[in-house]
Chain A
Amino acid sequence: MFPAAIEEYVRPRSVADALNAAARYEDGEAIFLAGGQSVMQAMKSRMMRPRCVIDLQDVADLKGIDHSNGGLSIGAMTRYVDVVEDETIDGAFAALRDAASRVGDRQVRNRGTIGGSLCWNYMAACTPAVVLALDGQLNLMAANGTTRTLGADDFLLGPLETARGDDEILLSVSWPAPAPHSGSAYKKWGQVTDALPVIGICVLVTLDGKGRCEHARIALAGLADGTQRAAAGEAALIGSEGDPASVDAAMSKIAEAADTHSDMSADAEYRKNLIRTLGREVGATAFERARA
């Protein structure tokens, strides 16, 4: 209900200052606070008891959406609402807006950040699944100023686990210009509207000149092992023109292969059915967007 005692609160203005502040503490004792919509829950329930909170709200370099050169770069401190309201995030990137517009609720979207969600990497979260399907590149900086870029496959390790070191900051997630005729979509199902996904599915397709799928990436949210690629379905979509039968077949393959679990929200079998029903809709939308 109330956080445990915090010894130090700092609000750096630069990435370097933020990293320096973190370097003064042992691993895990200092945390970066982005939008705080999950971290505050963890602190108030005392699942997390940081000695130092490093609030990133004033680090200008971490904010903003950049469309230069036809690509997309989203600063880690960019809030969901900014993604929702940027209507130029479409086509290959449209799934980002599908997800951002359905995260939590208005208040959470006004405050929560893309980078925060990626670094938290909750098992039932929308942003990691979308960034995984869209093959986002995660740009990180460490205390000594070195930077590295990881693909989403390498960054998202498992529930509440990423490749980010405690002394590293996620700067942004970025993409080069997408291939022409690419489209993506995301949808989730939860027990109530916009709740955490019991299952979420994101599909990215790239079509060739004849409207046939030549590249696909699909990711699932809500599995016990966290966000996962759905390789079986990706292969099955190659060559598809997005007709219901072929999308259905691909989604059935994903459902069959997925290691779904049972919990109080739904059982394993229903999760598989959700993959089929949501996947059908999301697949169709992704193809539609790719053709647009």
Chain B
Amino acid sequence: MITINVTVNGTAYEETVSERLVLVDFLRDQLALTGTHIGCTFEGVCGACTIHLDGAAVKSCLMLAVQADGHEITTIEGLGGKKLTPLQQAFTEHHGLQCGFCTPGILMNMDEFLHKNPNPTDAEIRHGLVGNLCRCTGYVHIVRAVRAAAETMRQTG
């Protein structure tokens, strides 16, 4: 067991974890942040567990919890806090989710994407989404929502 210090959604935690604990299990089971989802066994392809590690979108199923020691994490619960971000707002306005299981990962990935690429083409949005599988939407409304969020964010700065 090992003690780690990690800031999650602005709260500093000192937690004792097993060396082998996967980061996503730490977030879900130890911190009870169940908005981050698990959709693969070991392969890390579905992207439902995407979080921000020091601002970068990464898959929390492909990291050990101990690797997060000393870092800042944002999960879906901390994305907008009590308010919705323009991206979250666009997802509901454009029906960018159905079952919602993949949605937290998509929002976390696209949030970083839009900060790096504030004026994306549809093709760029689709390419940016490759690391997130969605079974319900056919991606059509997701692309529309991301595009709309980009417009809103450009207008409001």
Contacts and interface: CB of A to CB of B under 8 A. Distances in A.
Report if A and B touch in the complex (beta carbons < 8 A): yes
Interface of A: 1-9, 11, 33, 36-37, 40-41, 43-45, 53, 55, 57, 81, 104-108, 110-111, 193-194
Contact of B19 (A6, A57, A107, A110): A6
B56 A37 contact: no
A107 B57 contact: yes
A110 B127 contact: no
9 contacts: A1-B42, A37-B44, A106-B131, A107-B47, A107-B59, A107-B131, A110-B58, A111-B63, A194-B127
Nearest to B71: A57
Given A1-B42, A44-B42, A81 B66 contact: no
Nearest to A3: B20
Interface of B: 2, 18-20, 22, 25, 41-44, 47, 50, 53, 56-59, 61-64, 66-67, 69, 109, 112-113, 127-128, 130-132
A80 to B, nearest CB: 11
Contact of B109 (A5, A44, A107): A107
Nearest to B131: A105
B43 A111 contact: no
Given A36-B67, A106-B131, A2 B44 contact: no
A172 B53 CA distance: 24
B16 to A, nearest CB: 13
A117 B58 CA distance: 17
A7 B19 CA distance: 7
B39 to A, nearest CB: 12
Contacts of B128: 106
A267 B120 CA distance: 37
B25 to A, nearest CB: 7
B131 A108 contact: yes
A291 B103 CA distance: 45
Contacts of A81: 56
Q: Which of B18, B63, B127, B130 has the most CB of A within 10 A?
A: B130
B67 to A, nearest CB: 6
Nearest to B4: A9
A107 B2 contact: no
Contacts of B63: 36, 40, 111
A11 B67 CA distance: 9
Nearest to A47: B42
Given A9-B19, A9-B64, A107 B58 contact: yes
A241 to B, nearest CB: 33
Given A2-B20, A8-B19, A110 B42 contact: no
A2 B22 contact: yes
Contacts of A4: 20
- Which among B20, B22, B56, B64 has the highest number of chain A CB atoms within 10 Å? B20
Contacts of A6: 18-20, 64
Contact of B67 (A2, A45, A55): A55
A143 to B, nearest CB: 23
Contact of B41 (A1, A5, A7, A37): A1
B42 A41 contact: yes
A44 B62 CA distance: 9
Contacts of A3: 20, 22, 64
Contacts of B50: 107
A189 B18 CA distance: 40
A37 B69 contact: no
Given A1-B42, A40-B62, A111-B56, 11 more contacts: A2-B20, A9-B2, A9-B66, A40-B63, A41-B44, A106-B128, A106-B130, A108-B62, A110-B56, A110-B58, A193-B130
A57 to B, nearest CB: 7
B130 to A, nearest CB: 4
A37 B62 contact: yes
A107 B48 CA distance: 11
Nearest to A194: B130
B66 A55 contact: yes
Top 5 A-B residue pairs of the complex, sorted by shortest distance between their CB atoms? A105-B131, A44-B42, A6-B19, A45-B42, A3-B20
A50 B130 CA distance: 31
